[in-house]
Structures are given as C-alpha cells and as structure tokens.
Structure 1
C-alpha cells in the first residue's frame, strides 16, 4: 500500500508593513494522523473550546486555554509527527521585471513555490522504492473558482518535475482540496502559529488603538501567546530567528528532516529598499 503525507496549508497577511505574503503548512504522515486528530479534539473538549480556534480569537480570557492547546500541538512538532513550515516576503526586497501576469497572480505563484520547495519533499522518500502520495488541504482559497482550479492544476503539474519523479512522489489531482478550517483542528492550530509569526514580524505587538495611550488587552494577550510559541520553537532550535530563513546546517536534506522551519523568500532579481525596514 502506498504511503501518504497530508499537507494542510493556510495563508496570512498579503500586505504587511515590513513582511507580506505569509504562507504556512503543517505536514503529517498518514500513520500519525489518527493520533493527532484524536488528541487535539480531546484537548479542545477538555478546554471547552467548542468552536473554531484561530489567531484572531485570542483574548485575555482565552489566553491560558490557547497556550494549553498550542502546547499539545507543539508536542507533536517536537516529536516530528507534525512538520511546520512558514514562508514570507520582506517588503524591503522589491522584485524587478514583473509583468502584469506576475502582479495579478502573485498570491498563487508564491503559494506554488511554497508547496514545491518549503518542505524539501524531494528528500521525504529517500531509500524507499514505494510510491509516496501527497494530499493537500488548502484553507478556502480567496479568489475566483477559475483561478483556484488553475492553481490546483499547477500543483498537480509538480508530478512532472524531476525531483518528484526521482523521489517517486505523486500528487493526485482529486486530492488537491479546499477545506473548511472549522472542521480541521490541525489547520486551526497552524492558523495560530502562522498568526503569531505574522503578528510579531509586522510589529503588531506595538499597536496602540487610536485615542488611547496604551496597548489593548487583546494585543497584550496575543503577545504573550506569541512569546510562548517562540519559547516552544526555541526548545527545538535555540536562538531561532523568526525573520530569516532557517539554516540547513550544511545539509539540504534538513529542509525535510527539520520539524520546524522558516523561509524568507527573496526574489532572485530584486532591489533592496532600506526605507522599508524596521
């Protein structure tokens, strides 16, 4: 029987003050899926989190519950049962030579790069002749049906690339799906992690409401949750820098082997604008 990887994908700020085009993925082996789903479902019930959990719902009253849930999720990351990848662009790097097609389809073109490269999938099936199948679950894509279907065709087209063929990795067109995050706890936990990184990189922790002299309680609660998530990341990789691409430590296969990685996407042909930095 062919083995399977399940890839849950989400996105955040398309335009940010310092960083934009955030993409996040949580990858799970089919052999671990049942345990992860059962554990997260039970944890949410124990915490009386009956609805969908997401970054935008973080408040002072729910902070401890979200910390407890994210600890449960990060236990799987630490054990390499869930692999997390986050990709983003830094606004100070301005791509040169973009045409109308690139500008109109930037969201999907970057998403494609994320799926193709962020997880180092070409190293996922080393020393194994059996086919490895990949199922992808995208949180509802925010565009026309025509564009979304075209994007899925491009993802399906990855099967023609040498790195996928040589690794005996295959994506079935029928297994490239859009889903409702309300029904997928893994996707909800990914939303929290992705939201936390987006929040901090764009300095939203410093936001002060108009007419006020201090930060709001919700902002303070989000910063505390972000710091807890960073603490869990540091337990995996001490001194992890959230704003840079994670080092492969001299071994490209670590793009797959590492349980948690970031990728700062910089166009090959770009101009650096210092005025857009912090």
Structure 2
C-alpha cells in the first residue's frame, strides 16, 4: 500500500539554544496516498467557510479564528484515514558535541528519523514531505531517505522531499497538531488564551486526558517523548 507523510516541526531553535524552551517537537500526519484529494477537499472546505486564504498554523491560533481551528481539529479526529505522530525532544539533554559531531542540523534529522522509522511497516511504499527549509548540508533529505530505506528492507521510501508549507494542506495540518503538542509540553501559552482553549478542547473532547506520552500502539494521536537519559 502507498502512504504519504506530511511533516513539520515546532520549537526547533531549542536544539541550538537551550534557553529558548524545554522541548522541540517534530510531527507528521500519515495518510493513504489515495486519500490525498479527500484530505485536501476536507480542509479546503473549512478554510473556504471562514474565507481563509493563507496558511493554517499553530502560531495563528487566536480568538478570531478559534472556531476555525476547532473545526480543523474535528476534521482530523473524525477522519479515520489520518494518523498523527509527534516526537518531543528535551533540548537540555541533547548533546550535539558528544553524539552529533557538534552539528545541531544533524541531530535534528536524526530525530526526524526516529519520528518516521517506527511507523514504517513492511511491504508498503512511503513518500515523505517535509516543510521546506534551507539546510547547511544540502544533502540532508537524501541522507534521511537513504537511512530509512536501509532500515526497511521490505518497504520502499520513494522520496523525502521539501515542500513550501503554503502549498501543502497536509503540512499545515501537521503544523497545527505539532505546535499544539509542543506548546502543551512547554506550557507555552497564556492562561485563558485561544491556544489554551484549543488544547483544552482536544483534551476534553477527544483524549479525555492531558496531552502526554502515549503507548507506541496508539494510532490516532501518538506522542513519543524520547528518552535521552541512556541506561536501561
């Protein structure tokens, strides 16, 4: 079966500036490739109802657009063909010098690998689309594709490609969900704000608990807080 994965990140600056905030989040949505048009149509219809022509982004959640983002959340949880996974990285515990050749960009893509690898299953094809950014090493996406391919002998990673987020509703949905989960871990919102209200909406209506690390088997809203402590 063919799948597409759309990814974005939140709080990336914490990997190089440990004082920025506690966690960096990297998240992605998984959909069967033949459902791409359905996803596009569903989210596009919500944007049209609110006369929104720009991108959906966690940073744009505000009182004026709270109902819009609640509908986006409803769409995600009611679309049984869409799954979400986010990896939360505790920035203070990332040792770029010891483990990543003093290269914060390299550590970022190693964590991307951890996000993707555990949801790649045998006998499938995967196309991965990430929010386009300028990398110091222009071969990073090819390296990530090769690492995933080499680790999955019975699956095929057909591409890892950067896309401008304004051209991908999948990446925009990943932005909203990743930003929300990362903000919850960082407690990075004001009391009573629209962002807090949206987090509470998800937790009360769909999760029946706080956004916390989940079991690996959780398939709809999977939260992986990576353990960088070592030991056993």
Give the TM-score band, short-chain normalised.
0.7 to 0.9
Judging changes above 3 Å, is the alpha-carbon distance between structure 1 residues 242 and 17 closer, same or farther for their aligned structure 2 residues?
farther
Q: Which residue of 2 aligns with 1:82?
A: 82
2:96–2:107 Cα contact (<8 Å) kept: no
Q: Does 1:114 align with 2:115?
A: yes
Q: Does 1:69 align with 2:37?
A: no
Superposed displacement of residue 188, structure 1: 1.0
Q: Does 1:176 align with 2:176?
A: no
SS of the residue 2:98 aligns to? coil
TM-score by length of 1: 0.72
2:25–2:181 Cα contact (<8 Å) kept: no
TM-score by length of 2: 0.85
2:96–2:103 Cα contact (<8 Å) kept: no
Superposed displacement of residue 68, structure 1: 1.8
Superposed displacement of residue 268, structure 1: 5.1
Q: Which residue of 1 aligns with 2:9?
A: 11
Q: Which residue of 1 aligns with 2:178?
A: 194
Match of 1:38 among 38, 41, 44: 41
SS of the residue 1:267 aligns to? coil
Judging changes above 3 Å, is the alpha-carbon distance between structure 1 residues 259 and 148 closer, same or farther for their aligned structure 2 residues?
farther
Q: Which residue of 1 aligns with 2:131?
A: 139
Q: Deviations over 1:117-161 (max 9, x none)?
A: 2x2x23xx4xxxxx42110100013422xx242342232232222
Superposed displacement of residue 45, structure 1: 0.8
Judging changes above 3 Å, is the alpha-carbon distance between structure 1 residues 59 and 25 closer, same or farther for their aligned structure 2 residues?
same
The structure 1 segments of at least 4 consecutive aligned residues displaced by more than 6 Å after TM superposition are none
Q: Which residue of 1 aligns with 2:215?
A: 247
Judging changes above 3 Å, is the alpha-carbon distance between structure 1 residues 86 and 233 closer, same or farther for their aligned structure 2 residues?
farther
Q: Distance in 2 between matches of 1:267 and 1:177?
A: 28
Alignment of 1:258-277 (within 5 A): 258-267=219-228, 269=230
Judging changes above 3 Å, is the alpha-carbon distance between structure 1 residues 100 and 112 closer, same or farther for their aligned structure 2 residues?
closer
Q: Deviations over 1:227-260 (max 9, x none)?
A: 11223441xxx43x5232x124xxxxx26xx122
SS of the residue 1:191 aligns to? helix
Q: Does 1:222 align with 2:222?
A: no
Q: Does 1:51 align with 2:54?
A: yes
In the alignment of these two chains, the number of paired residues is 225
2:125–2:156 Cα contact (<8 Å) kept: yes
Superposed displacement of residue 24, structure 1: 0.3
RMSD: 2.5
SS of the residue 1:98 aligns to? helix
Q: Deviations over 1:51-100 (max 9, x none)?
A: 11111112211111221222122211xx2x11100101234646598156
Q: Distance in 2 between matches of 1:50 and 1:140?
A: 20
Give the structure with higher Rg (CA): 1
Q: Distance in 2 between matches of 1:140 and 1:182?
A: 10
Q: Which residue of 2 aligns with 1:160?
A: 150
